[in-house]
Amino acid sequence: MATHPADIAAAALSERYRTTREQSLALISELQPEDTVVQTMPDVSPTKWHLAHVTWFFERFVLELGLKGYSRFDDQYHFLFNSYYYTAGQMHARPKRGLLSRPTLSQVLDYRSYVDTAIQQLLQTNAADDKLISIITLGLNHERQHQELMLTDIKHVFSCNPLHPPVSRSLEPVPTKDVAAYSYSTGDEGIHPIGFNESGFAFDNETPRHDALLQEHRIGDRLVTNGEYREFIEDGGYENSEHWLSDGWATISENAWQRPLYWDEKNENEFTLSGDRAIDDNAPVCHVSFYEADAFARWSGARLPTEFEWEVAAGKHGVGGNLMESRHWHPVASSGPQFFGDVWEWTSSSYAPYPGFRPLEGSLGEYNGKFMCNQMTVRGGSCVSARDHIRSSYRSFFYPDARWQFLGIRLAKDGHGS
C-alpha cells in the first residue's frame, strides 16, 4: 500500500490514466472498424488515427524519455502518427490520414495495449520523476482533447454518408424547454486578473496570469438559440453584405453557405450524433463559423465578447452544465447561464500569447504557441468536452471559417445600457 506522497500521486495518476484511456474506447464503442478509417476533409481525422496518435504521444514523449530499455511497438508508427511536432521528426500528410487502411484498427488497439502496459510499469516502479509525471498529465489532457475531436470528426464523417447513421444509439434524450428573451448583465469593468490561477493542470497558453483592462460592457445571459439564428436567416442575413466582415462575405459566397452546418435545406432538421432530428428553436445554435457568429452579432446590434470579458463573467460560475458526461452530445435549451458546455463560444479575441508567455521546453513547445496566428479564441467547452477538462481560463482556438466543432454564440454590448 502506497504511503509516501509521491507514491500516492503516482497511484492516483495510474488510475486516472487507466480510466481516461478506457473512456476513449468507450466513446466509440458503437462504431464498426470501417467507420474508423474515413477522412472527409483535412480538418477531420479518422477515429483510428486519433486512437493511434494519442498513444504515440505517450510513447514518444514519455516512454522513450523515461522507461529504460523501452523499444517502440513499430518504428513506422512514429512517422504515421506524429501530428505536427516537426522537432520530433517528419510526419504523414494530414489530409491523407484517411488513406491509411493499414495498420488495421486491431493493430492500433494492440498498440494502445502495448503502450498502456509500459506506462503503468513506469508508474508502478516509481521510475517516473516530476517531469515525467507532468508529461503524462499533459498526455491525458491531450487525450481528452482528442476524445472531443473523435466525436466531432465522426459526426462530420457520418453527415457525409447518405444513411446518416447515429454515432451512438444510447444517448440521453434531449430535454426541451422554453427560454426567456435574450438579456444582458452588466459586466465587471476595470483591471482584472486573467489566466490560470488554480491548483492542478493548465495548458501553457493559459499562462502567465496577468492584468487585463475591461471597458464598460454588458454580456449575454445565455447562448443564442436556433430560433434567434433562424430570424437572422429569414431576414436575409446571408444575403446582406452589410453584416459581414470582408473575409466572411468572401467565405460564405465561395462556399454558398446559407445556414449552420448540418441543417437541412428546409432549415427543419439537423444531423446530430444520434442521427437526424428536428431543430429545437430553444436550443443553442451550433456549427457556425466565427464569420457567421460575428455577422449575427452585428445584425443583432451587438458584438461578440472579448475572451477577457468572457473569463471574468464565467469565473463567477462553477463548471457545470451540458458536458460530455450528460451524454446528450448535443446542445440543449437551458435557463442557466450556459458558460460551460453546450458549445464553444466564439470571442472577438485573436488567439495570441499572454504577456510574458513562454511555451513548454523542447518538442512540447510546439503544442500551443506556434498556432498563435490567424485564429480566434473560443471558450467554455462543449457538450462533448469532459467535465474534468474544462475551466474558466481554458482557451481553445479555431480558424474563423471552422464550423465542424460545436461552436456557438454569446452576445455582448458596449456600455452599461439603460
Q: Which residues bind Fe ion (CB under 5 A)?
A: 83
Nearer to Fe ion, 83 or 396 (CB): 83
Euclidean distance between CA atoms 108 and 44, whole angstroms: 18
Amino acid at 121: Q
Nearer to Fe ion, 295 or 364 (CB): 364
Euclidean distance between CA atoms 316 and 416, whole angstroms: 19
DSSP-derived pairing of the beta strands 210-214 and 190-194: antiparallel
The three cell numbers locating residue 389: 477538462
Neighbouring CB atoms inside 10 A of 137's CB total 15
Nearer to Fe ion, 366 or 388 (CB): 366
Least Cβ distance, residue 184 to Fe ion (angstroms): 37
Nearer to Fe ion, 143 or 221 (CB): 143
The three cell numbers locating residue 187: 459586466
Least Cβ distance, residue 57 to Fe ion (angstroms): 6
Least Cβ distance, residue 362 to Fe ion (angstroms): 16
Least Cβ distance, residue 50 to Fe ion (angstroms): 8
Least Cβ distance, residue 293 to Fe ion (angstroms): 25
Nearer to Fe ion, 142 or 328 (CB): 142
Nearer to Fe ion, 53 or 410 (CB): 53
Nearer to Fe ion, 61 or 310 (CB): 61
Nearer to Fe ion, 134 or 168 (CB): 134
Is the bond preceding 46 in cis, omega lying within 30 degrees of 0?
no
Least Cβ distance, residue 322 to Fe ion (angstroms): 25
Cβ contact 376:349 at 8 Å: yes
Cβ contact 346:407 at 8 Å: yes
Euclidean distance between CA atoms 180 and 336, whole angstroms: 10
Least Cβ distance, residue 86 to Fe ion (angstroms): 14
Which H/E stretch holds residue 377?
A: strand 376-379
300-to-182, 236, 295, 379 alpha-carbon distances in Å: 11, 13, 9, 21
Neighbouring CB atoms inside 10 A of 55's CB total 26
Least Cβ distance, residue 85 to Fe ion (angstroms): 9
Alpha helices, DSSP H only, in 235-289?
Answer: 246-255
Least Cβ distance, residue 404 to Fe ion (angstroms): 16
Nearest Cα to Cα of residue 291 among 261, 334, 317: 261
- Nearest residue to Fe ion, by Cβ distance, number only: 83
Euclidean distance between CA atoms 167 and 158, whole angstroms: 8
The three cell numbers locating residue 384: 462533448
Nearer to Fe ion, 83 or 405 (CB): 83
